[in-house]
Amino acid sequence: MEVSDNYIKKFADLNSRCEDCMQPKWTDAVENEVTSVISDGTVNSKTGRRKFKLPTLEFKKFDGNIKDWLPFWSQFQKVHDDLDIDLNNKVEYLIQAMVPGSSARQLVNSFPATGSNYSKMIDCLLSRFGHEDLQI
């Protein structure tokens, strides 16, 4: 066990040294913008934003089954709350997130697919599937 622990420590030390050597040398002006490395990505010290590439997420498909509402809504709510996304795009995302032929898709398709109807679609979905008492 001790030999294994020593090997792991040496590996971590050498790995750290290699990463330090591979980092580019920054000028004084750029050093203020240097990001600090954390275990799951990098964080800009001024903005606090992480900089790493994540895989594209695919929406969970909602089929109208009440037990699947919470996982669907917890994911889709990020799109719903994002003010930078156009309402017409939100409608398209909502349609894509519904299983074709399901009761939820029929409800969404009962409205013309325009941005002005997006809030009506969401209100109907929430009133039909989003009851907390039914979720429990």
E strand map for 1-136: 35-38, 41-44
Domain-embedded: residue 51: no
Same domain, 91 and 125: yes
Domain-embedded: residue 118: yes
Same domain, 74 and 107: yes
Helices and strands (H, E) in the chain, number of each type: 7, 2
Residue among 103, 102, 105, 101 nearest 91 (CA):
105
**Domains in the chain, number:** 2
Domain-embedded: residue 90: yes
Question: Residues 69, 72, 78, 81: what is their CA dihedral angle, to the nearest 10 degrees?
Answer: -30
The domain of 7 spans 2-44
Same domain, 26 and 75: no
Quote the CA–CA distance of 54 and 33 in Å, as a whole number. Answer: 23
Percentage of the chain lying above the pLDDT 70 cut: 74
Taking only the tens place, the pLDDT of each residue in 40-75 is 455 555 556 666 677 777 778 888 888 888 888 888
Domain-embedded: residue 121: yes
Domain-embedded: residue 129: yes
Domain-embedded: residue 17: yes
**pTM of full prediction above 0.75:** no
Same domain, 123 and 70: yes
Domain-embedded: residue 54: no
